[in-house]
């Protein structure tokens, strides 16, 4: 006996086989469907249809305009019938309106956004593509963080620690780096993982958890670990922020086993440059070196960094167990407002702008070193008018 396939058996019985063809959509229809899916998603999340009104969120107002259009177009209602489980397109709904209060071009114009110029009312504008919607979903919906006041000092502290070198930004690498109290840079904003819920297994069999992520613009999002992970991986500028290094940059007390790291040196120039000559007691070079200062300044009159002139050593401070590069950046940030702005020619006539000379009194430098020792320097900046260190406001 010959085995027949289902199709062959139906043919023997005289039953015609109808070939199912996959429905294809025009670009216009795809955008209509995508726009309506956004409206359905809004309805599912808020338990109601989007509404008009100046007190409403801009996206809700756009969705309301879009829904009014769809209700008014028979071809759109027919296209979306299979997707309209909430019956949003029923003009008899209580929240349906007979006239559109404001179209989306006018609404966007009020917000300073240029309209597209497309005049066909049947074309839905400002509707993201499916790929754009998926990318937006990675970040999840954000809302105002009502208790942001308690998080703002943390963001301020992190920013200061980045400026002083106590923290660094590094490429994001693994999911394990996402944990409570961790900071990241994603989408151009600093983000803090404030809370993490219980770990669960998602439909793909992977572990995940719900996060409360606070952003430095005062918003928050309850996104998933994997959503934040994907956002960081896709963002070319996405970074993680390291934890601050423990302990002060250096200590005046040398313990057994400590290794000398270098010296902060303060120099005064013997240059006859008019600016230097006029303010000789205030013009100081502040640098960090791992060699003897006398060796570092040898041949100063031949080096643009020393203003092509001999110098005298005003002060030295020995360092232990510190990162010299970070310390130098810290000192230069504190006195950044007083950096000397002048150019001098090198031996070949090329104009050079030295970076390590500052118009500050020696007393302010001494105070800065003491505040580096006790770790309070991150709270201070140099005030040119008062010629001293002052607290950040």
The domains of the chain are located at 27-131, 141-241, 260-391
Question: Would you state the pLDDT for residue 14?
Answer: 57
φ, ψ dihedrals at 319, nearest 5°: -115, 150
DSSP letter at 291 equals S
What is the number of other CB atoms lying within 10 angstroms of the CB of residue 188? Answer: 10
| Burial of residue 326 (number of CB atoms within 10 Å: 0-12, 13-18, 19+) | middle
What is the H or E stretch that residue 38 is in?
helix 27-46
Question: Would you state the pLDDT for residue 5?
Answer: 61
* CB 354 within 8 Å of CB 296: no
Measured CA to CA, the distance from residue 218 to residue 144 in angstroms comes to 6
Nearest to 288 by CA among 388, 369, 367: 369
Measured CA to CA, the distance from residue 209 to residue 213 in angstroms comes to 12
Nearest to 212 by CA among 229, 230, 225, 194: 194
Nearest to 286 by CA among 373, 391, 342, 361: 361
What is the number of other CB atoms lying within 10 angstroms of the CB of residue 377? Answer: 23
* Sheet arrangement for strand 211-215: 142-144, 219-221, 211-215, 189-196, 183-186, 239-241, 169-171
| Site of tokens 């998602």 | 202
Nearest to 261 by CA among 246, 269, 270, 251: 251
Q: Model's pTM, two decimal places?
A: 0.39
Measured CA to CA, the distance from residue 60 to residue 154 in angstroms comes to 33
Residues sharing a CB contact under 8 Å with residue 214, sequence separation 6 or more, in sequence order: 145, 148, 151, 191, 192, 194, 220
φ, ψ dihedrals at 288, nearest 5°: -130, 135
What is the H or E stretch that residue 9 is in?
helix 6-12
Q: Distance of alpha carbon 39 from its chain centroid, rounded?
A: 29
pLDDT tens sequence for the chain (393 residues): 455 565 665 565 555 545 545 567 787 788 888 888 888 888 887 788 888 877 777 778 888 888 888 888 888 888 888 888 888 887 666 555 544 444 555 545 544 444 444 444 344 444 554 444 444 444 446 788 999 999 998 999 888 888 877 788 888 877 778 888 899 999 889 999 999 888 888 777 778 888 999 999 999 988 888 888 888 888 888 889 987 654 445 544 555 544 456 788 999 999 999 989 898 989 999 988 888 888 889 888 888 889 999 999 998 887 766 677 778 888 888 888 898 888 888 888 888 888 889 999 988 998 888 888 777 887 788 888 888 888 865
């Amino acid at each position: 006996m010959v085995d027949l396939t289902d199709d062959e058996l139906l043919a023997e019985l005289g039953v015609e086989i109808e070939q199912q063809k996959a429905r294809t959509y025009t670009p216009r229809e795809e955008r209509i469907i995508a726009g309506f899916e956004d409206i359905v998603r809004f309805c599912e999340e808020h338990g109601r249809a989007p509404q008009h009104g100046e007190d409403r969120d801009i996206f809700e107002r756009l969705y309301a305009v879009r829904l009014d259009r769809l209700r008014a177009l028979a071809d759109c209602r027919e296209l979306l019938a299979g997707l309209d489980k909430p019956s949003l397109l029923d003009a008899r709904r209580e929240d349906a309106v007979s006239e559109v209060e404001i179209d989306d071009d006018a609404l966007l114009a009020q917000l300073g956004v240029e309209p597209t110029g497309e005049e066909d009312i049947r074309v839905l504008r400002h509707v993201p593509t499916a790929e754009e919607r998926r990318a937006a979903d990675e970040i999840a919906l954000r809302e105002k963080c009502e208790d942001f006041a308690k998080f703002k000092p943390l963001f301020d502290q992190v920013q200061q620690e980045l400026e002083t070198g106590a923290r660094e930004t590094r490429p994001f690498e693994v999911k394990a780096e996402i944990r409570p109290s961790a900071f990241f840079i994603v989408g151009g904003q600093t983000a803090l993982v404030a809370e993490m819920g219980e770990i669960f297994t998602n439909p793909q069999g992977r572990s995940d958890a719900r996060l409360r992520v606070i952003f430095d613009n005062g918003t928050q999002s309850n996104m998933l670990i994997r959503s934040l992970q994907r956002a960081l991986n896709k963002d070319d500028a996405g970074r993680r922020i390291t934890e601050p290094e423990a302990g002060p940059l250096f200590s005046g007390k040398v313990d057994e086993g400590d290794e000398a790291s270098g010296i902060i040196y303060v120099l005064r120039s013997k240059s006859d440059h008019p600016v230097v000559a006029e303010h000789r007691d205030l013009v100081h070079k502040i640098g960090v070196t791992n060699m003897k200062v006398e060796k570092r300044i040898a041949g100063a009159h031949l080096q643009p960094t020393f203003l092509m002139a001999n110098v005298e050593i005003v002060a030295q401070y020995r360092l232990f167990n510190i990162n010299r590069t970070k310390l130098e950046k810290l000192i230069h940030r504190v006195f950044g407002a007083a950096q000397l702005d002048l150019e001098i020619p090198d031996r070949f006539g090329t104009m050079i702008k030295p970076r390590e000379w500052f118009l500050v009194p020696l007393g302010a430098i001494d105070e800065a070193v003491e505040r580096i020792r006790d770790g309070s320097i991150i709270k201070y900046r140099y005030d040119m008018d008062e010629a001293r260190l002052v607290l950040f406001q």
